[in-house]
Amino acid sequence: MVGIGPGNVSNMTAHAVAVISLCDVVCGYDKYVKLLGDMTEGKQVVTSGMRGEKDRCLEAIRLAGAGHSVAVVSSGDAGVYGMAGLIYELITDLDIPIEIVPGITAATSGAALLGAPLMNDFGVISLSDQLTPWETIEKRLYALAAADMVVVLYNPMSHHRPDTLKRACDILLKEKPENTLCGWVRNIGREGQEAHITTLGKLRDAKLDMLCTVFAGASDTKLIGEKMVTSRGYTIAT
Amino acid sequence: MVGIGPGNVSNMTAHAVAVISLCDVVCGYDKYVKLLGDMTEGKQVVTSGMRGEKDRCLEAIRLAGAGHSVAVVSSGDAGVYGMAGLIYELITDLDIPIEIVPGITAATSGAALLGAPLMNDFGVISLSDQLTPWETIEKRLYALAAADMVVVLYNPMSHHRPDTLKRACDILLKEKPENTLCGWVRNIGREGQEAHITTLGKLRDAKLDMLCTVFAGASDTKLIGEKMVTSRGYTIAT
């Protein structure tokens, strides 16, 4: 289970590169496997589109059970909304050895583009209600806002869910003021990379997609130059 | 500002390695700079112990202002309780170019050792009350527990704060049952690496230190084999 980071090979770890090169099968969502470029040359490649996750994982398990070394790749970190947990849930032969190879998740690669929004306590929430009921998502958004934590949103909206970001902002706005510093990034480390700073009031109307990651600040998040920075709390003499 | 990941060079990104090799000064907490081994050969090295963060950052800024290329290294990710935000807060000459190079933070490198505890929404909280008032930490712990989120604890306890983990568990136990699956890791990717699965009731009495990261599960976190796995919510046929 290999996390390949945000997308550019230079943000993969040496260990992730080594594990993929040692495996004879690479398995993953087709868009992510493409990001690996010639690293998959000479290997069996098992890909499928979005929502083919379960079948893909079952095929990976079958191939591993048949004696192949299989790299199941996820973008970001395999254990953060990735394939790692699904493999554990689906595998029945616990003698098949599994290694989780961590990768850089969008919370930190996105934060790096915006400045330093995650310098203090934060929460990570996916706005996809495919697998988590929306009421649970709302409850979690409210909890983070009421505790004045920085909030990172994965899967902020999609064609099928054009209003999830707006609805999430409305929950956050119950506890965070409209001028709360926010930011969003798109295509981290890939062609078309973007990073934008905004406010919570304006974020509500942003037109984003599944390739975006969103950051909503806390009361101690401020603009320094053009960067979004949450204070860690060190006393800074002025 | 370079995140060097959990400690072993194989878990650094190629970009982090390249940036350090291009810089003529490396600046960081002495223990972390040591992890870089011969990567600092031939470079000026500015180190200091724990709590020397501010002076170290000011020296890095001074050297950068004087024309040096300076790599300020943090373990894990530079933007997660690292040095990135502090540099932004201290810098006065906004013409000095800053790049944040993300690294693998302990939340995901630790999760990888335990299984897949972060497959659904989670929060990250530091239990160090050096820079955040304890009342704020308590409020955040309670919020995450009440919203049934997975909780990752950085800096769980130290010589100076022998009871912070116990006090944190007592807050979590207000909303999470005693048998909630938990895990902790020590020295990720370094000599003496450990990973342990336990319950919230038992975690309360664990003797940990600053080199540990703690994971408290949610209601959908379960033991699969010997691994801690939070369900993403896919329907698994039985």
Q: Do A119 and B82 touch (CB under 8 A)?
A: yes
DSSP letter assigned to residue B94: T
Closest residue in A to B54 (Cα–Cα): A234
Q: pLDDT for B126-168, tens place per residue?
A: 999 989 999 999 999 999 999 999 999 999 999 999 999 999 9
How long is chain B? 238
More confident residue, B50 or A111: A111
Predicted pLDDT at A50: 61
The continuous run of DSSP H or E covering A195 comes out as strand A194-199
Q: pLDDT for A98-156, tens place per residue?
A: 999 999 999 999 999 999 999 999 999 999 998 999 999 999 999 999 999 999 999 99
- Closest in B86, B113, B224 to A234, CB measured: B86
Touching A: B residues 44-103, CB under 8 Å: 53-54, 77-82, 84-86, 88-91, 94, 100-103
CB proximity list for B51: less than 8 A, separation 6 or greater: none
- Closest in B9, B12, B102 to A112, CB measured: B102
B3-21 average pLDDT score: 95
Q: pLDDT for A46-63, tens place per residue?
A: 998 666 889 999 999 999
- What SS3 class is residue B113? helix
Which amino acid is it at B40? T
DSSP letter assigned to residue A132: S
The torsion region of residue A10 among left (phi > 0), alpha (psi -120 to 50) and beta comes to alpha
Q: At A170, list the tokens.
A: 């409305």
In the block, tokens 């600040």 appear at A217
Closest residue in B to A91 (Cα–Cα): B224
Q: At B19, list the tokens.
A: 């940036």
- Closest in A88, A109, A131 to B233, CB measured: A131
pLDDT above 90: percentage of residues in chain A: 87
- Closest in A82, A119, A147 to B84, CB measured: A119
CB proximity list for A69: less than 8 A, separation 6 or greater: A22, A23, A24, A25
Q: At B190, list the tokens.
A: 């370094």
Q: A128, A220, A234: best mutation site toward chain B, by most B Cβ within 10 Å?
A: A234
Closest residue in A to B127 (Cα–Cα): A121
CB proximity list for A120: less than 8 A, separation 6 or greater: A149, A150, A218, A220, A230, A231, A232, A233, B81, B126, B132
Name beta bridge partners: B124. A122, B152
Burial of B84 (0-12, 13-18, 19+ CB in 10 A): buried
- What SS3 class is residue B87? helix
In the block, tokens 């932004």 appear at B88
Cα of A144 vs its chain's centroid, Å: 18
A169-196 average pLDDT score: 97
DSSP letter assigned to residue A13: B
Q: How far apart are CA B178 and CA B172, in angstroms?
A: 9
Predicted pLDDT at B114: 98
Q: Do B122 and A123 touch (CB under 8 A)?
A: yes
- Closest in A108, A144, A224 to B105, CB measured: A108
- Which of A186, A164, A188, A161 has its CA nearest to residue A77? A188
- Enumerate long-range contacts of B80-83, CB under 8 Å, 24 or more apart: B80/A108, B80/A111, B80/A118, B80/A119, B80/B3, B80/B105, B80/B107, B80/B124, B80/B154, B81/A119, B81/A120, B81/A232, B81/B126, B81/B154, B81/B155, B82/A119, B82/B1, B82/B3, B83/B1, B83/B28, B83/B53, B83/B56, B83/B57
Using the Cβ of B159 and the Cβ atoms of chain A, whether some distance falls under 8 Å is answered with no
Q: A39, A86, A108: best mutation site toward chain B, by most B Cβ within 10 Å?
A: A108
Residue B101 in contact with residue B3, Cβ under 8 Å?
A: yes
Using the Cβ of A231 and the Cβ atoms of chain B, whether some distance falls under 8 Å is answered with yes
- Closest in A54, A116, A147 to B85, CB measured: A116
Position B70 pLDDT exceeds 70: yes
Closest residue in A to B229 (Cα–Cα): A85
Cα of B2 vs its chain's centroid, Å: 14
Touching A: B residues 16-45, CB under 8 Å: 17-18
Name beta bridge partners: B68. none
Predicted pLDDT at B52: 83
Q: How far apart are CA B76 and CA B56, in angstroms?
A: 18
Using the Cβ of B131 and the Cβ atoms of chain A, whether some distance falls under 8 Å is answered with yes
Q: Is the pTM of this model over 0.90?
A: yes
Using the Cβ of A236 and the Cβ atoms of chain B, whether some distance falls under 8 Å is answered with yes
Predicted pLDDT at B206: 96
Residue B203 in contact with residue B184, Cβ under 8 Å?
A: yes
Contacts of A137 in chain B (CB under 8 A): 121
CB proximity list for B39: less than 8 A, separation 6 or greater: B9, B17, B20, B21, B26
DSSP letter assigned to residue A43: S
Q: B39, B98, B108: best mutation site toward chain A, by most A Cβ within 10 Å?
A: B108
Residue B122 in contact with residue B149, Cβ under 8 Å?
A: yes
Name beta bridge partners: A30. none
Using the Cβ of B14 and the Cβ atoms of chain A, whether some distance falls under 8 Å is answered with yes
Position B238 pLDDT exceeds 60: no
CB proximity list for B11: less than 8 A, separation 6 or greater: A13, A14, A15, A102, B5, B104, B109, B189
